[in-house]
Structure 1
């Protein structure tokens, strides 16, 4: 805030009274901006309208310190700041309208402000939110002797159950079981998935379409053979106990339906493009491979648990601001020339929530704020009409309303998502030599290779003897 105040004082010295312009662009000074002029509506010469000239200030200006701070706050949000930049460059002197590229050097003011405030200070604020979030998370366990890693490992151990590993007794079935469990078979199938993905193409020549059709049949046949082999090796009961096998089964069935839909052309009521999604879904299986990908997935799973709490906080904030917005701005007359229009207003609770969600993303939030202010120049001409139709022109409370909402959402609550993700990701990648709960899934899988009956015991002496020999 102090830095913004300092930049605002500099902005007042540079641009005070210099962002005015005449409504008639042919006039460049306040003395010339008198009388009336003809304006053509909708850029057509068939609709001439006689209007009175007025000497108008820019919506965001530097005439006062608080006005300059508002303008700089909008610049820090990266919304509409190029327009203010170019108007500042064209500013010439007080009581004088814009002059093209009159002071190009003032662009350094905006560049310095964005680097210092938007790039550095805003990110420092995000870091402060993350550090505070982590400290508050540890405060709950300040009297516990176990650290975070030990607590999560203990929680995992208490909830974990042994994984039964099926091994067939039939000799022929055992041979198939060895094949489907070998790493070479797995690498071969992953290679097929990548090849099948590479052969997806759009707007191709007819000959290539025919070739890819045959290749799709080949790939689907190979994936079906893989499914059959695994069913023979594990038997259906044990096959469907693995979620990845169930996923493979769904993808194969969908791929077969895709072939059937292609053979029937467009005679089916269900679109063929729906079944083609199953070809792409084969790539999901690649997510289970690779240490880095597993770390990202674990981070996502751990972070998604905190999502309901942050979402409830956002919904509470939206509800409060939505109700206040309906009371304060619900009677504003929608105008197509402003951001409060038929599609973007506070007339109903649902529309208020949509408008607030748009403001949270930062999309033209400052224009919505200006359209909700009573002094908006578009409303002055229609003031008498508003009174007759019981519409309001808005309220200056819009400044407090929208700025506070944007600060709460964009700078604070949304960064809670970042704080949760950073906390989990930093914990997972802090020291690879420290075992954590994200390693225990791999441990349970390897343990199951020596504990086929899931008795929570394993005889390691024969294995160690074999390895030592």
Structure 2
């Protein structure tokens, strides 16, 4: 039964309906909508719990937990039940409840179990995690190196051309500030303004200004056009 087309489409429809309910929530919504969403969530908890129990009965406990997806599904269902109990008993502060409600979003991933193309895409992404981790480490080391270089070149220099109130937050006065500034440059967000500020801080377009240009251009080209594109590829 759990492998039939009817069961397949029932689960897909439930997932889509759950997604619609989640997407209907907004700030300062009327009380009746909040109550409707809560009732709908309780119904979904019951239905998805019934789906899990039906699979356990059909496949057996051992057969059910062989699949990694079923383990994930079981986690989502149990977390949803815990959320329901904690909300019903009023045992958690609002912030904790908000965090638990994020579990509802995981139900959307149930569609990957039945959508072959999407499941293959997710599997490919998971298989690439080791390569992605290596590239992220390389990118982080690149950012650290250029942040340290920036601190040596521009540390405290922005104070000479700005007052304390005017000094931009994207500066190289501290390691964390330099990391954020280098990351901003890599994303291409207003990086030319940081370049112009660096040139002014070192006395304008002279030998020092040329070195500043080389620093920012190498950082932008190597980081934005090489490392980030390799990561995306």
For the superposition of Structure 1 and Structure 2, which TM-score range results when normalised by the shorter chain?
Answer: 0.7 to 0.9
1:180 maps to 2
Answering whether residue 19 of structure 2 is matched by residue 197 of structure 1, we say: yes
Alignment of 1:58-457 (within 5 A): 179-200=1-22, 201-202=24-25, 203-265=28-90, 268-269=92-93, 271-334=96-159, 341=167, 343-373=169-199, 374-375=202-203, 395-396=208-209, 397-418=211-232, 420=233
Structure 2 unmatched runs, 5+: none
Normalised by the length of structure 1, the TM-score is: 0.43
Distance, in Å, in 2 between the alignment partners of 1:320 and 1:310 is: 15
Change (3 A) 1:342 1:257: same
Change (3 A) 1:295 1:235: closer
Q: Could you report, residue by residue, the CA deviation over 1:127-174 in whole angstroms, capped at 9, with x for unpaired residues?
A: xxxxxxxxxxxxxxxxxxxxxxxxxxxxxxxxxxxxxxxxxxxxxxxx
Q: Could you report, residue by residue, the CA deviation over 1:97-122 in whole angstroms, capped at 9, with x for unpaired residues?
A: xxxxxxxxxxxxxxxxxxxxxxxxxx
Kept in 2, the 8 Å contact 1:360–1:406? The answer is yes
Distance, in Å, in 1 between the alignment partners of 2:115 and 2:77 is: 24
Normalised by the length of structure 2, the TM-score is: 0.80
Change (3 A) 1:343 1:220: same
Change (3 A) 1:271 1:324: closer
Distance, in Å, in 1 between the alignment partners of 2:214 and 2:203 is: 15
Structure 1 unmatched runs, 5+: 1-178, 378-393, 421-469
SS of structure 2 residue aligned to 1:271: helix
Distance, in Å, in 2 between the alignment partners of 1:344 and 1:191 is: 48
Kept in 1, the 8 Å contact 2:56–2:64? The answer is yes
Distance, in Å, in 2 between the alignment partners of 1:291 and 1:242 is: 15
Kept in 1, the 8 Å contact 2:69–2:113? The answer is no
Distance, in Å, in 2 between the alignment partners of 1:206 and 1:333 is: 52
Deviation at 1:301, TM superposition (A): 3.5
Distance, in Å, in 1 between the alignment partners of 2:218 and 2:75 is: 49
Deviation at 1:342, TM superposition (A): 6.4
